[in-house]
Structure 1
Amino acid sequence: MHVAMIGTGYVGLVSGACFADFGHVVTCIDKDGAKIEQLKSGGIPIYEPGLDTLVAQNVKAGRLFFDTEAAEAVKKADAVFIAVGTPSRRGDGHADLSYVYAAAEEIAGLMNGFTVVVTKSTVPVGTGDEIEKILRAKRPDADFAVVSNPEFLREGAAIEDFKRPDRVVVGTDDDRAREIMRELYRPLYLNETPIVFTSRRTSELTKYAANAFLAMKITFINEMADLCEAVGGDVQHVARGIGLDNRIGGKFLHAGPGYGGSCFPKDTLALVRTATDYGSPVELIETTVRVNDQRKKAMARKIMTAMGGDLKGKTVGVLGLTFKPNTDDMRDAPSLDIVPALQAMGAKVQAFDPAGATEARQLLRDIDLKEDPYAVAAGADALVLITEWDQFRALDLDRLKLLMNQPLMIDLRNVYRPEDMRVRGFTYVSVGRP
């Protein structure tokens, strides 16, 4: 089948490459000429493990193409995916749908024959209806169906998530569109992947509900971590104790400095705004948003307390800046709250992140970026582990101790065992553990 993917951001590029790997002919389209030239020359504008190889293989096979112009690809396409950004709108928290609607306007003038227009972007309930109105107003003669097909990709594991998903959700009442979507995802039938067909509005809401629930789960275990610290419990044992219950599950029960990234902060806020607009408030999610914001800010105070209450003239070494490992994404990362707060308290901050240096230079001021963890430790009065990259899991603790002004580690991801750190002579502070 022929696919046009409007947008070569994280979702569009990963989805386009994976559809091509399924055997479909895919053209990824973006207005950013520099990005398209980079992709054509073999470069990848985002950090995602395995994506460079996947793109190169499918370009070589003649199934994956990149273009700044949509006309030819859309005219040939059986399905046109809208995979553009929907950032939170400043001021009110609603999703900014200007890019989605602009894409719909462009697609309308280019459709040829029956075309399935698919929203892959995360959009509020009712957006598909608006896209349909735009298409119908501009092309009353056109034969098309608008479908919702939300993405459930985790940054750092996106290719695996696309090819071996827990489920595929498709929102449409059109029989022809349903068959085209089945054909697009046909390779997944071999893995017996559930494909859930539902109404378009239900599909749109499912995406927000999924992310809001996971965000709520993270926030819950973070509050349990605070309670564990107060009563002398161990949050990791609590998480395991409840996670072994199949009704709860162990995923997303890892205490830390709060959630960030491109999805959870934006999507929880958008769901709250949508619910308010429809007069059906979601108070659990409202509380989740508020508690998570407070938590990220509280982490700097936790660090200050561990360092004796005064950071003036002290050096803090930070390990990890991205919102999670295996990505260069720093959108709403806890580090964006923690680092400036430490600096405001008088600390000098030096840091290392395996993939986030370029973003960090743009988003964080006066931060001294180092080439490896040991350079970060040199002269530091404390090490703070913010992002749990694999290379931070087995550091040479004896070497760190020699390099630091004092052996203090504040581990916001509970990577290390408290007893091991004590044996090595470290003062060790973690989250939700005695």
Structure 2
Amino acid sequence: MKNTALVICSALLATSLAACSKNNSPSASAGQTQEAGQTQPAAKEVKLTFFNTSAEVNSVFEDLFKKYHELNPNVTIELIPTPIGGAQLEKFQSLLASGKPANIANLDPGTILQYKDKFLNLDPEKAKYEQLAKPGAVDGALLDGKFLGIPWTAQGYGLLYNKRVVEEAIGGTFDPGMVKTRDDLEALFKKVEAAGKAPVMIHGADWSLGAHYLGLTYSLQSKNVEDNRKFVEDLKNGKAALSDNPQFNGLMDTFDLLKKYNARKNDPLVADYNKDSADFAKGNAAFYFMGDWTWAVIGTLEGRDKDFGILPVPISNNPADFGNAQVAYSEPKLFAIDQSGSSPEQQAAAKAFIEWLVSSEQGQDAIVTKMGLSLPYKNVKAKGTNIISDAVSKYVDQGQVINIGVINYFPQDYWSKTGASMQKYLVGKVDRKGLADEVQNYWKSYAGK
């Protein structure tokens, strides 16, 4: 999907998942014995509404609601659809204003944070989900330290690679662990170039440059989101200077390398997402700074290569530096439960449905196979076709990820404003100091806000 971009433009075991789904056969009925620790289904008739901002999978959710009703006849779930892209927040706000909010909402974390007083604090459910989810998934979903939304999909990004192109260039099997530093990456780029291929593709859109690339600056300060929030506050108040920051300068040194070997360097701002993705998939570039969501384009292409993977973006020549072995990882959508207008019975039924959705075979299959997304949960047996997402999962399983959750606290325009500055840098209209000044001034404009 390009959903990470959409998220950013509007704006990650004691009981196995398999065990949780044993009793979720079509013959199951409300009130039957549940697995230990699993939320009980509704004992009396309950109607729920579900507000969905992942509009491209509305029909999959509706099929899930029907399946859940077959298993739990006392629970009926109605979809409140939203259009793809626009007017989603306005519709959510109108429901709140009407006094008839959706019982369950699938929202960007930043929106949940904005309306945090309207949602149920799910801290009593936290320990259960920490057992079900992959390491760090629940922590990555916390907003102001509270568990207000349950993660259900995860995405990662970094330097995607086309395995065939890289292996032809090096004359052997490629092990991504070979690239531990910036110099390692450049040595590989030189081999690719010598083989007659473009080493790397930079997508010149502001969301890719401002949110995904430059945005790493804020997440690389610390593994702790609260420390990263403090760094941004220090930028706003002039207590930290971006131009002196080692993570920023390391990222930009690597960006200079990407610029040098960019397949689009003659016209870097064209930013044709479909063409860039297709050219990479067909072997016209060995690497591509992008995320696993690009599989929505790549996966359906005729004549594409078959094998792809992902590398972290190296930010220094010290392999031990945080970021050199980790890929960026986020949970772009969370399920939140309303507390402003929902009854206790509706809240309990909503909890049970969400747990079923992420832990049952039916729910997992729908999310992974039909939606084509990655679940941040353990022991998921459903198999999707997204090879890049599978590659990201290997880093997640090893705990080698950069939690980019600090972006949930950013102003809505951060990616477009700082992305425009990055575009200037990409085409040489500002130097490193000019870029740092523009980005710092952006943050200073939010001092005290």
TM-score over 0.5 (shorter chain)? no
TM-score, normalising length from structure 2? 0.25
Q: Identify which of structures 1 and 2 has the higher relative contact order when contacts are C-alpha pairs closer than 8 Å and 6+ apart.
A: 2
Greater Rg over alpha carbons, structure: 1
TM-score, normalising length from structure 1? 0.26
